[in-house]
């Protein structure tokens, strides 16, 4: 096996992502475009084989992945020649309690934390699932699209099922092929998995364990992340490096259609269509401490307070001061190619879509390039006219968002240049895009995205600067933009010092059933994002609008019980926004204002004011968003919500 160690990347064919410092070009494997992309839920898989007791390592790993799925959890270990399975509906703590009551041992095991798709959360639907013989157990992230047809065929053959899941069908299918095969060893288990997966339509990341093969874990991936962790006399298999980074930082990111046989002392990767796969070892850039809460009560609050550093990391090494521009070599486009771009399409979902909207304002204002933002879930099924000089950006924190990935693949399929903006090294979008920019935000564990949003806006500001300097933006204007952007981290630090004051404001409004968030120009997307944050973690209905659109319908909602949050810094349209604020006051609506420091006039008009430092108009979203994150956080905490794991949500949505 040829080994290549590269810090923080998944290397392969020459596709580049921009890193910091700027002279480090990160290379990614450009995978073949999958013609029929399917979707998979963002659950969590952790598997271990070695000499240590498996259960503590598996439970620890599941706790680190609980943000990926928390409807139920379970594990299987192999000890004394027998499989031992424990699973329980609810959080990982419920599984840990069950294991204390019913201990199991073994130095090889697989485990799973679930975000339900097929079948409601229950003990029976929890993973792992066994085959008909009870000698094979399987954990699975993904959606088996044709599971019902496969299940019907298996039932006719005499199989019975204990759950409503598609995963149990896959376990039975693997078991069927294993029973029919001649080999009852590692080779036989691997071939059985290959035969079963060839019948599957859909996505999967799996780990399988057999009592007949006590020295191996079999894994496979298509459309759902899976990574091998390499240790000394032990190996791991996981859907996320965060689960295993405390034990090893040497990993192999599996590609779609890879199968892997993992043993304590080595591993082998094959292709689904047979033949050994080429693998390269990467080094995880962050350590386990980066994904810990530290002294903060919640990951979300920790990540809010990390934003000054996050923005610095997103900018580091990415300024070309001699040219008063940005240095983004990872875009893989020459200056001439960038000048020839006539139109930009940005596609994203959720918070990333809001960041893209800010980017639209930035790019059109600073670079004068026509730009539009598409919901990835709509773009993937549309057939919009796109000319040859259009550049697409797929924006995602995880790099695994199903709709965004499908949109990127659709653009590439039609021959368009498709770039990525993402946070997770080794993610599918990072590897399949033609180039792009990393956020360098570090692990984001809280389900409600915060620091990824500000990092995305920062990167989009750099792209706007680069494109602007290649067109009409003067060197003096570029230098001023850099100066203002570099001042943003310190200004966010000043906003964060209002933490206690914002908590008090939250206490005044926590019992409201509805909120309006209103902003204009580049602060309109901030209003959308503020409303989304409040909805996500407090379960209070909230809507974001352009402030001037209020009188075209939403003003009917204004009353004494419905607070309106106005984002009204002293920018070019300050007076216009203030007029909209007056319209709410005239109808006895309560107003929370996000205003510029030194603005005394607004204090006489709003019920509560949160101040942000002054900056140039284009960069206000990086500041005005921070108070809205804190406001949503404190309202949710005071309502007793589970801030880091809001109901019905998963960190990365990889199911359609």
Domain check: are 284 and 299 in the same one?
A: no
Please count the other Cβ atoms lying within 10 Å of the Cβ belonging to residue 649: 15
Domain check: are 135 and 282 in the same one?
A: yes
Domains held by the chain: number: 3
Between the two ends of the chain, the Cα-to-Cα distance in Å is 37
Q: Does a structural domain hold residue 489? A: yes
Residue 320: the pLDDT is: 92
Q: Does a structural domain hold residue 335? A: yes
∠ Cα 538 543 546 (to 5°): 140
The residues, ordered by sequence, that sit 6+ positions from 323 with a Cβ below 8 Å of its Cβ are 469, 475, 478
Q: How far apart are CA 443 and CA 15, in angstroms?
A: 23
Asked whether the predicted pLDDT for residue 565 surpasses 90, the reply is yes
Q: Does a structural domain hold residue 447? A: yes
**Containing domain of residue 372, as a range?**
1-30+293-497
Residues in a beta bridge with 228: 237, 252
The single residue of 302, 412, 491, 651 carrying the catalytic annotation is: 651
Catalytic site residue 18? no
Asked whether the predicted pLDDT for residue 22 surpasses 50, the reply is no
Domain check: are 157 and 264 in the same one?
A: yes
Q: How far apart are CA 616 and CA 22, in angstroms?
A: 26
* Boundary residue ending a domain (265, 291, 317): 291
Q: How far apart are CA 530 and CA 524, in angstroms?
A: 10
CATH no. for residue 114? 3.60.20.10
Rounded to an integer, the average pLDDT of 536-557 is 86
Asked whether the predicted pLDDT for residue 28 surpasses 80, the reply is no
Burial class (CB in 10 A: 0-12, 13-18, 19+), 5: exposed
Alpha carbon 204 to its chain's center: 18
Contact by Cβ (8 Å): 518, 624: no
Domain check: are 274 and 356 in the same one?
A: no
Q: How confident is the model at residue 20 (pLDDT cuts 50, 70, 90)?
A: very low
Tens-place pLDDT, residues 462-515 = 999 999 999 999 999 999 999 999 999 999 999 999 999 999 999 999 999 999
Residue 559: the pLDDT is: 81
Say which residue the tokens 């968003």 belong to: 625
* Boundary residue ending a domain (448, 473, 497): 497
The DSSP code sequence of 424-474 is -TT-HHHHHSSEEEE-------SSS--HHHHHHHHHHHHHHHHHHHTTT--
Tens-place pLDDT, residues 373-416 = 999 888 888 888 888 899 999 999 988 888 898 899 988 888 88
Tens-place pLDDT, residues 145-182 = 899 999 999 999 999 999 999 999 999 999 999 999 98
Asked whether the predicted pLDDT for residue 33 surpasses 50, the reply is no
Domain check: are 216 and 282 in the same one?
A: yes
Domain check: are 597 and 535 in the same one?
A: yes
CA distances from 509 to 503, 592, 632 (A): 10, 10, 10
Please give the backbone phi and psi of residue 44, each rounded to the nearest 5 degrees, phi first: -130, 135
Domain check: are 277 and 410 in the same one?
A: no
Rounded to an integer, the average pLDDT of 226-252 is 92
Domain check: are 331 and 182 in the same one?
A: no
* Boundary residue ending a domain (451, 472, 497): 497
Q: Does a structural domain hold residue 506? A: no
Report CA Rg, the chain. Answer: 25
Q: Does a structural domain hold residue 504? A: no
Asked whether the predicted pLDDT for residue 106 surpasses 50, the reply is yes
Q: How confident is the model at residue 291 (pLDDT cuts 50, 70, 90)?
A: low
Query: Hey, which bits of 90-222 come out as E strands?
Result: 108-114, 129-130, 136-141, 204-210, 217-222
Residue 107: the pLDDT is: 96
- Percent of the chain residues topping a pLDDT of 70: 91
Domain check: are 81 and 122 in the same one?
A: yes
Domain check: are 181 and 309 in the same one?
A: no
Highest mean pLDDT of the ranges 35-39, 51-55, 326-330: 51-55
Q: Does a structural domain hold residue 505? A: no
Catalytic site residue 43? yes
CATH no. for residue 306? 3.40.50.10490
Domain check: are 315 and 455 in the same one?
A: yes
Residue 128 preceded by cis peptide, ω within 30: yes
Q: Does a structural domain hold residue 502? A: no
The single residue of 18, 43, 213, 522 carrying the catalytic annotation is: 43
């Amino acid at each position: 096996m040829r080994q290549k160690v590269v810090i923080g990347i998944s290397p392969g064919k020459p596709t580049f992502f921009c890193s910091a410092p700027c002279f480090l070009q990160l290379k990614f494997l450009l995978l073949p475009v999958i013609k029929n992309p399917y979707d998979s839920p963002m659950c969590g898989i952790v598997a271990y084989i070695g000499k240590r007791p498996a259960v503590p390592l598996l439970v620890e790993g599941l706790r680190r992945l609980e943000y990926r799925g928390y409807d139920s959890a379970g594990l299987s270990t192999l000890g004394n020649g027998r499989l031992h399975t424990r699973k329980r509906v609810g959080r990982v703590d419920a599984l840990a309690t069950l294991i204390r009551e019913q201990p199991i041992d073994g130095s090889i095991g697989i485990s799973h934390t679930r975000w339900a798709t097929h079948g409601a959360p229950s003990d029976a639907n929890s993973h792992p699932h066994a085959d008909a013989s009870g000698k094979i157990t399987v954990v699975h992230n993904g959606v088996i699209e044709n599971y019902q047809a496969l299940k019907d065929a298996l039932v006719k053959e005499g199989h019975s099922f204990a759950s409503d899941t598609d995963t149990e069908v896959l376990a039975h299918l693997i078991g069927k092929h294993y029973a029919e095969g001649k080999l009852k060893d590692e080779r036989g288990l691997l071939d059985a998995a290959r035969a079963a997966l060839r019948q599957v339509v859909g996505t999967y990341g799996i780990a399988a364990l057999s009592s007949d093969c006590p020295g191996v874990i079999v894994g496979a991936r298509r459309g759902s992340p899976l990574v091998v962790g390499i240790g000394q006399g032990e190996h791991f298999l996981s859907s996320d490096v965060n689960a295993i980074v405390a034990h090893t930082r040497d990993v192999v990111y599996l590609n779609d259609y890879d199968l892997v046989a993992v043993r304590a002392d080595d591993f082998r990767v094959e292709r689904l269509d047979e033949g050994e796969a080429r693998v390269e070892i990467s080094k995880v850039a962050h350590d386990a401490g980066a994904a810990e809460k530290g002294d903060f009560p919640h990951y979300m609050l920790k990540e809010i307070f990390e934003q000054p550093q996050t923005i610095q990391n997103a900018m580091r090494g990415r300024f070309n001061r001699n040219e008063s521009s940005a240095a983004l070599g990872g875009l893989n486009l020459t200056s001439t190619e960038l000048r020839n771009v006539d139109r930009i399409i940005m596609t994203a979902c959720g918070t990333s879509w809001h960041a893209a909207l800010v980017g639209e304002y930035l790019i059109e204002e600073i670079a004068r390039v026509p730009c539009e933002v598409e919901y990835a879930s709509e773009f993937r099924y549309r057939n919009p006219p796109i000319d040859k000089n259009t550049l697409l950006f797929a924006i995602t924190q995880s790099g695994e968002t199903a709709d965004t990935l499908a949109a990127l693949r659709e653009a590439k399929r039609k021959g368009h240049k498709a770039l990525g903006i993402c946070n997770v090294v080794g993610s599918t979008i990072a590897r399949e895009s033609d180039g792009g920019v990393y956020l360098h935000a570090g692990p984001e564990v809280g389900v409600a995205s915060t620091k990824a949003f500000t990092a995305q806006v920062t990167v989009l500001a750099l792209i706007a600067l680069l494109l602007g300097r290649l067109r009409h933006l003067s060197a003096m204007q570029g230098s001023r933009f850099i100066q203002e952007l570099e001042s943003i981290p310190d200004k966010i630090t000043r906003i964060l010092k209002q933490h206690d004051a914002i908590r008090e404001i939250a206490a005044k409004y926590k019992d409201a059933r509805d909120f309006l968030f209103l902003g204009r120009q580049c602060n309109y997307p901030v209003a959308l994002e503020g409303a989304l944050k409040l909805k996500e973690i407090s379960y209070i209905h909230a809507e974001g609008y352009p402030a001037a659109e209020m009188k075209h319908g939403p003003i009917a909602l204004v009353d004494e019980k419905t607070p309106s949050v106005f984002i009204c810094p002293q920018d070019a349209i300050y007076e216009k926004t203030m007029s909209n604020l007056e319209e709410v006051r005239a109808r006895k609506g309560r107003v929370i204002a996000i205003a510029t420091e030194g603005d005394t006039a607004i204090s006489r008009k709003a019920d509560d004011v949160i101040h942000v430092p002054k900056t140039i108009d284009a960069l206000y979203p990086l500041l005005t968003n921070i108070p809205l994150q804190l406001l949503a956080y404190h309202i949710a905490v005071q309502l007793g919500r589970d801030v880091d794991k809001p109901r019905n949500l998963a960190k990365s949505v990889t199911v359609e």
